[in-house]
Structure 1
Amino acid sequence: MAQSIRTMISPERYVQGKGAIHQLGHHLSQIGSKPVLVADDVVWGFVGDDVEASLTEAELPVDRRAFGGVPSAKEVDRLVGEVTSAGADVLVAIGGGSTIDAVKAAGHLAGVRWANAPTVASTDAPCSALSVIYTEEGEFEAYRFFPRNPDLVLVDSQVVANAPAEFLVAGVGDALATWLEARATSRSGSTTMAGGLPTLTGTALAKLSWDVLWENALPAIDAVRDHQVTPAVEKVIEANTLLSGLGFESGGLAAAHAIHNGLTSVAATHGLAHGQKVNLGSVAQLVLEGAPPAELREFVEFTTEVGLPTTLVEVGIKPDDAESVRAVATAAAAEGETIHSMPFEVTAEDVAAALASIDRHATKIRERAHLPAPTPYTAKH
């Protein structure tokens, strides 16, 4: 029997704005009385004082635990132990997508509620009811799905603007894929990460995320380079975090994220942000679709201006490195991957051909538009 149920899911509450971090304690007090906060030392160094003040004002205890750096199964289990030993009733992620994914998974296993306070707008992880789990070496391992979304997502726009602009750039790469993948999922009639067919709402929010980013990404990135919060910055934060989060989960994932997952199988890519690799996946998806030349050209030009990679060399892989390209393609086309939500059959050979064709074509597009030539990426060890 064909799937006919449509599903839309979302976090319980979303809060965004300049100074929102000062309301964290107030909102957490509606969820629990004994929170455990998870943040690495760098993040805690620049938001710790504000978080402590906010929780103290709300008469909540301040119990911060460190994050190990990679959302691996081992790190998730360690955090479960921390939560259990503390007797916590709510687990709070403060940081980026890796911290958030680890906290969601740990909160679910520990049987407590969970909340996210992202300090960057670099992924659409904060709002979702799933975590991406990696090996301790940084390779994609699995998606873990949960029966509910976070109880709270709170984003302080000034905190986001204070972070390096490269985080916002990466978030744009992650969020632009949302519409391309939702569009493909809608055409194929595949199920989404929410466990049903895409809703009109999920697909429309994915498209809205796309439209907001094309209009606002470039001025927002410029503003964040000066650590300023402008209306464009607020719109891009919302597009990267909320619109993309709802859009990917209830609209659908397809080739772009599967190719991202494939890229993680090559060690040379491990130093790159999630959204950087996703953007290359978006370019490859457009090639797989046989997108109109104008659509591919505009996407390459725009994302190059944003500062995202549009070629293999920019993610550390030479286009003639057949072994690496094949490894990426094989992982991207593995059984159960989201690439099979495309409205046509996709094989590893198709993915390899799309990837191998990207560099020459994207480089020509950039030359004609007088944009910078691709710079080879070298992983930092």
Structure 2
Amino acid sequence: MLKLMRAPSKYVQGKDALLELYDHVKDLGNSFLFICSKSGIKAAQPKIEKSFAGKEAKIQFEVFGGISSTSEIAKMQKIARDNQIEVICAIGGGSAIDTAKAAAFYEKLPVVIIPTVCATDAPCTGLSVIYHDDGTFSHYIFYPKNPDAVIVDSSIIVKAPVRFLVAGMGDALGTYFEARMCLKTNSPSLENGGITKSAMALCELCYETLLEDGYKAMKAAKQGVLTPAVEAIIEANTYLSGVGADNGGLATSHSVYNGFTALEECEGTMHGELVAFGTLAQLILEDAPMEEMEEVIDFCLSVGLPVTLEQIGVTDKTRVLIAAEKACAPGESIHNMLGDVTPDQLYNALLAADAFGMEYLGK
């Protein structure tokens, strides 16, 4: 298996970065469709309009339905065709981003990603997570290239509710441990290639940045202020995790997320929160050293990530087996684990993770 490394063609991050958006995307085309979340359009539209003011370029904003489903993607494709759009852009969180990526792919257009929260590493990855209209996980779409540009306005990110930033840390938390397992089992990355030293270096740096700056960033973000620690965590959540996961691969953490989407009681739990709890389960499956377990749990507690089933919305432990079975479905990344994992084994690991978390919380 040949080693492979991919990343966005351009990554820009900083205070008021959207005021320079036109300069970074003008070579991609002259007509832009912005697929927006409701909150994203409020945060970003004024800066984007100011950036494009006086330029010979057409811009159009469309608020999408909230879920990156097949029907929503088709709707945005039609809007792009009807308006002769040359570039599709995403404004918002993971679902808006995944919708825009898919619409751009099917219409054979460049895609620009403008996250207004950093709750997941979706901006930089070469894939989309597609859901059914009811919000349950459906499938992944893997693309031949990563986004053409990712523009991250830190001053917008830091004004979002702090839970988004923390959830992004949860998503990023799985990056190193999942890639480490894929390397150990010689499993392919999400780009279906071997894992490079460069990819593993990004994954390790992602984890180190979380430990170094996560708590400091969370405290600053609660005040809505931009500090070097916040900038570091935005980069870790967005670039280091995104490019790291893309080129390092997935294992248990993300399968656990996919599994728990089957439970109604987890509908209010964010992607990264479930990934964080899935990372604890993966460490148990690996029989990781106690020092490593403690380090991860301490980090989760310091920033407010869940460490128990109750914190992710599950109070009836018999329901966990449903999630475990879905997480172990054919094609799931949990099968990249050494020796593979059965639903019963994952069920036991999830209960063990819950027990560890309960102990740390003093329950």
The answer for the alignment partner of 2:30 in structure 1 is 33
Letter in 2 for 1:230: T
Alignment partner for residue 196 of structure 1, among 187, 193, 197?
193
Classify the secondary structure of the residue corresponding to 1:29: helix
For residues 102-117 of structure 1, the aligned pairs below 5 Å read 102-117=99-114
State the match for 1:357 in structure 2: 352
| Cα pair 1:132 1:144 within 8 Å, conserved | yes
Q: Is the 8 A contact 1:22 1:51 kept in 2?
A: yes
| Offset, 1:174 | 0.3
Specify which of 324, 328, 342 is matched with residue 329 of structure 1: 324
Deviation at 1:27, TM superposition (A): 1.4
Residues 176-195 of structure 1 mapped to structure 2, 5 A cutoff: 176-195=173-192
Pairing 1:95-174 to 2, within 5 Å after superposition: 95-174=92-171
Q: How does 1:259-270 map to 2 (within 5 A)?
A: 259-270=256-267
Partner residue of 1:312 out of 309, 314, 329 = 309
1:88 to 85, 90, 111: 85
* Alpha-carbon distance change, 133 to 62 in structure 1, aligned in 2, over 3 angstroms: same
Asked if 1 retains the 8 angstrom alpha-carbon contact of 2:43 and 2:116, the reply is no
Identity, % of aligned positions: 39
Paired with 2:93 and 2:295, the residues of 1 have a C-alpha distance of 30
Question: What is the match of residue 379 of structure 1?
Answer: none
CA contact (8 A) 1:73 1:135 kept: yes
CA contact (8 A) 2:13 2:154 kept: yes
Which SS does the other structure have where 2:114 is aligned? strand
1:277-288 paired onto structure 2 within 5 Å? 277-288=274-285
**What corresponds to 1:292 in structure 2?**
289
CA distance in 2, matches of 1:271, 1:145: 27
Counterparts of 1:27 and 1:137, CA distance in 2:
36
Q: Residue deviations 1:201-253, cap 9 Å, x none?
A: 11110110000110001111111111111111111110000010111010111
Q: Which runs of 5+ in 1 are unaligned?
A: 368-372, 374-381
In 2: Cα distance, 1:220 partner to 1:338 partner:
30
Matched residues in 1 for 2:158 and 2:317: separation?
A: 38
- Tell me the C-alpha RMSD between the 2 structures: 1.1
SS in 2 for 1:117: strand
Q: Shift of residue 297 of structure 1?
A: 1.9
The two structures have a TM-score, normalised by structure 2, of 0.98
How much does 1:57 deviate? 4.3
The AA in structure 2 aligned to 1:118 is: P
- Aligned residue among 52, 56, 63 for 1:66: 63
Contact 2:181/2:251, CA 8 A, preserved across alignment: yes
Runs (4+) of structure 1 exceeding 3 A deviation are none
> Which position in structure 1 is the counterpart of 2:13?
16
Q: Give the letter for the 1:352 counterpart.
A: Y
Q: Distance in 1 between the 2:111 and 2:35 partners?
A: 11
Unaligned runs of 5+ in 2: none
Distance 2:9 2:356 in 1: 44
Paired residue type of 2:329: A
Map Cα deviations across residues 162-190 of structure 1 (whole Å, 9 max, x no partner): 11111100000000110010111111100
Aligned length: 363
User: How far apart are the structure 1 equivalents of 2:94 and 2:340?
Assistant: 31
CA-CA distance at 1:365 after TM superposition: 2.3
Structure 1 residue 345: Cα displacement:
1.6
CA distance in 2, matches of 1:361, 1:224: 28
In the other structure, the counterpart of 1:212 is 209
Following superposition, the deviation at residue 46 of structure 1 comes to 2.4
Residue 291 of structure 1: how far off its partner (Å): 1.2
| Equivalent in the alignment of 1:376 | none
